[in-house]
Structure 1
Amino acid sequence: MNFMFKKKLLIVTLLILSLVVSVVGCTQQPAQEAPKAEENAETKVGDLGYAHPESLISAQELKEIMNDENVVILGVEVRDYIPGSVKIKEEDFNYTADGLKNARPTKEQWEKVLSNVGIDNDDTIVLYDAKNMLLSARVWWILKYYNHDDVKILNGGIKAWENAGYETASSPAKKEATTYEIKGENPDILATVETVKTSFDNENIATLDTRSDKEWRKGRVPGAVHIEWTNALREDGTFKSADELKALYEEKGITADKEIITYCLGGWRAAHSMFALTELLGYENVKNYDGSWEDYEKSGEPIEK
C-alpha cells in the first residue's frame, strides 16, 4: 500500500512539473516574436542636433501625425505608398524651358499640380521617395521657392518607413481637388549663371559641386568645391547627424559665414545638399543653381579642369 501511494505521488509530481514547464514555455514565447514597428523605428530627428529639426521627420514621428487632416503625405515618383499618401510624378515637377531639360515648373504649372492632388496653402506637406530623398529635396526646393513654408522630408524615404515595420499600400490615395494659390516667389534661394560669376575670385562666396567624381573631373565651375551629395547620407539612406555634416562641409571650406551656391547637372542633387546646409546645419545664405551644369556649360563662361 505504501509502495502504491509513493508511485501515485511520483506520477502526480511529474504531471505538475510537466504543466509548469509548459506554462513557462508559453510565457516566454512572445519574447521570441519580432519587435513591434514602434520599437524598430529610427531615432527621432530632434536627437541629431539639427538646426531646424522640424524640416525632417522620422518614420515614427510621421506615424504619429499621419491622420491629421492638415497633413498631406506626398510620394514623389514612388511605387510603394505610405497609406493615405498622394503621388506626383517626375513630369509634374520637371519641365523643359529655355532649352533646359530640368527646369522648375512655372507658377501656373505648380498651382495646377498641387491643386490636383488636394493640397491647400496651409497644409503641412511631408515628402518621401525611393531615391535617398533626392526627389523629395528637389520638390522641397520648388515648394520653398514658391513660398510654401510648412514642408518636411521623411528621413530615409519609403525605405525608412518599411524598415520601421509599417505597412505600405499598392496605390496612392485620392483627395478632392483644391484651389492652391501661389502668392509669390523667393528669389533669395535661386542662383543663375550671373550669380555664379560673382563667385569667381571671391573668397566670401563658395560654389559647391554636388555631382559625381566622374562629372567633376570632366569640368567644373572655376574655384568650385566638390562634395558629392551622397556624402551627407548614412548607409541606410538617412541623413548624418549635424556634427557629422558640419565636419564634412567645413573641412572643404563650406562654412556658414559664406554665401553658398550649390549646383549639379540640373539642380536636383544641389537641392539635396542645400537642404542639408540650410535645414540641418542652419546656413542662412544658400542658393540652388537651378540650371546648374546644363546651363553653365552652354553659357560660354570659363570651365576649370
Structure 2
Amino acid sequence: MTLRKLFVAGALAILSTGPTWASNYLVNTDWVEKNLDNPKVRIVEVSVNPGVFERGHIPGAVNLNWHTDLVDTVNRDIASREQLQALLRKAGVSKDTTTILYGDSNNWFAAWGAWVFDVYQIDNVKLLDGGRKKWEDEKRPLATVAKTYKAGDVTLAEADKSLRAFLPDVVAAAKKEADVALIDIRGPDEYSGKLFAAPGFQELAIRAGHVPGAVNVPWGQAVAEDGTFKSREELKKLYAAKGVDGSRPIITYCRIGERSSHTWFALSKILGYDVRNYDGSWTEYGNSVGVPITNLAGTVWGNQ
C-alpha cells in the first residue's frame, strides 16, 4: 500500500454536529455559504442535465460539463491529465485551493468528478453533502452569471490506476481468481436482470443481470431523505450486512460508472476502505463476449 493510500485510509471523515462543519472530504451548505468569498475555495458544479448551471448556480461556481470536460469524447475513458489540468487552471484552481464539487442527479456526476480528481491525485477536494438539490431546497442564493478567475497553477500527477477497475479485474473477481468484493449499486430490477437499464437511461447492454458474486446495495441506501450521506456508523452497518466490511479490496459498478462513483465516495472517503470504481460498468461488462453473468430474471438477449 502506498503512503498516499495509507494517508487516505487514515483520514476518515469526522463530521461535527455544529452548523458549519467541514470534514476531510465533505462540507455542508452552511459551510459553503460562509465561504463563498473565500479566495482559497473554488466551487465547481458538475451537473449532467443541459442548462442547469446557466439557469442558476452557487455564486462563484465554475462549470465542468461531464459529457465533454471529465471524459474523453473519442475514447471511452476519463479526461486526460492535460485536458483536466488546463480546465482547472482556467477555473483558477491552484495547488493550495480547496475545491468543492456539487451537482444535480443526487451528486452522481459530482462524485464522478471527485473520483477523477482522486485518480489525478488532486489534494483538498470535498463534496457538498446533499448537492445542488439541498442547496436549492434551503433557498440559498443562486447566480446566473458565471464568474471568471485569474489562471491557477495546479499541477496534476500521473493517473493513479490503482483507483480504477478494468474489465479483466472484474472478470477475475467473477471467476473467483481474485479475492475482491463486488458491489452492484443499481436497482434490484437491474441487478436481477428484469430491467436492462433504469427507465429513462439510453445506455444499454445486450445482456441483463449482474457480475457473478456481486452483492446488491443500491446507491440510494447510503443517503438520508435530504440526499446527504448517512452517518459513518450507519454506512458501516449497511455494507457489513451484505458481507462488505473493508477486510478485502472492493470494486463498485453500475451502468456507466456515475452512480458507482457515489458509492465509491461513501466507501473510500467516509469509511476509508480500499475501493476501485469500475467506470466501464455494466454497459461494458454486459456487452463483452465470453464473460460470465448471473441473470436471475432469465432475460439474456434482446430483452426477451
Fold match (TM-score > 0.5): yes
2:219 pairs with 1:229: yes
Shift of 1:211: 1.3
Shift of 1:202: 5.8
Q: Which residue matches 2:28?
A: 58
Say whether the 8 Å CA contact 1:145–1:189 is kept in structure 2. Answer: yes
Give unpaired runs (5+ residues) of structure 2: 1-13, 194-208, 296-304
- Determine the C-alpha separation between the residues in 1 that align with 2:147 and 2:32: 17
Go from structure 1 to structure 2 and tell me whether the alpha carbon gap of 1:210 and 1:61 turns closer, same or farther (over 3 Å shift). Answer: same
Q: Percent identity?
A: 34
Shift of 1:122: 2.8
2:90 pairs with 1:116: yes
Partner SS, residue 127 of structure 1: strand
Say whether the 8 Å CA contact 1:53–1:280 is kept in structure 2. Answer: no
Q: Which has the higher helix share?
A: 1
The residue type equivalent to 1:87 in the other structure is: N
- Determine the C-alpha separation between the residues in 1 that align with 2:131 and 2:15: 13
Listed one character per residue, the Cα deviations across residues 212-236 of structure 1 (whole Å, up to 9, x for unaligned) are 2222122111111111111111111
Say whether the 8 Å CA contact 1:94–1:105 is kept in structure 2. Answer: yes
2:246 pairs with 1:256: yes
Q: Which residue matches 2:59?
A: 83
1:133-172 equivalent positions in 2, closer than 5 A = 133-172=107-146
- Determine the C-alpha separation between the residues in 2 that align with 1:288 and 1:254: 15
Partner SS, residue 74 of structure 1: strand
Q: Which residue matches 1:289?
A: 278
Shift of 1:158: 2.2
Q: Which residue matches 2:236?
A: 246
The residue type equivalent to 1:159 in the other structure is: K
Q: Which residue matches 1:72?
A: 42
Q: Which residue matches 1:182?
A: 156
Q: Which residue matches 2:182?
A: 207
- Determine the C-alpha separation between the residues in 1 that align with 2:214 and 2:132: 33
- Determine the C-alpha separation between the residues in 1 that align with 2:30 and 2:154: 29
Normalised TM-score (structure 2): 0.78
Normalised TM-score (structure 1): 0.77
Higher Cα Rg, which structure: 1
- Determine the C-alpha separation between the residues in 2 that align with 1:247 and 1:180: 38
Give unpaired runs (5+ residues) of structure 1: 1-43
Say whether the 8 Å CA contact 1:53–1:279 is kept in structure 2. Answer: no
Q: In angstroms, what is the RMSD of aligned CA positions?
A: 2.1
Partner SS, residue 261 of structure 1: strand
Runs of 4+ in 1 over 4 A off after TM superposition: none
Listed one character per residue, the Cα deviations across residues 117-167 of structure 1 (whole Å, up to 9, x for unaligned) are 222233110011122111110000000001102100001112322344431
- Determine the C-alpha separation between the residues in 1 that align with 2:93 and 2:81: 15
- Determine the C-alpha separation between the residues in 1 that align with 2:64 and 2:129: 19
Q: Which residue matches 2:257?
A: 267
Listed one character per residue, the Cα deviations across residues 105-126 of structure 1 (whole Å, up to 9, x for unaligned) are 1122212222232222331100
Partner SS, residue 43 of structure 2: strand
Q: Which moved more, 1:201-210 or 1:54-63?
A: 201-210
Q: Which residue matches 1:93?
A: 70
Say whether the 8 Å CA contact 1:119–1:178 is kept in structure 2. Answer: yes
Q: Which residue matches 2:288?
A: 299
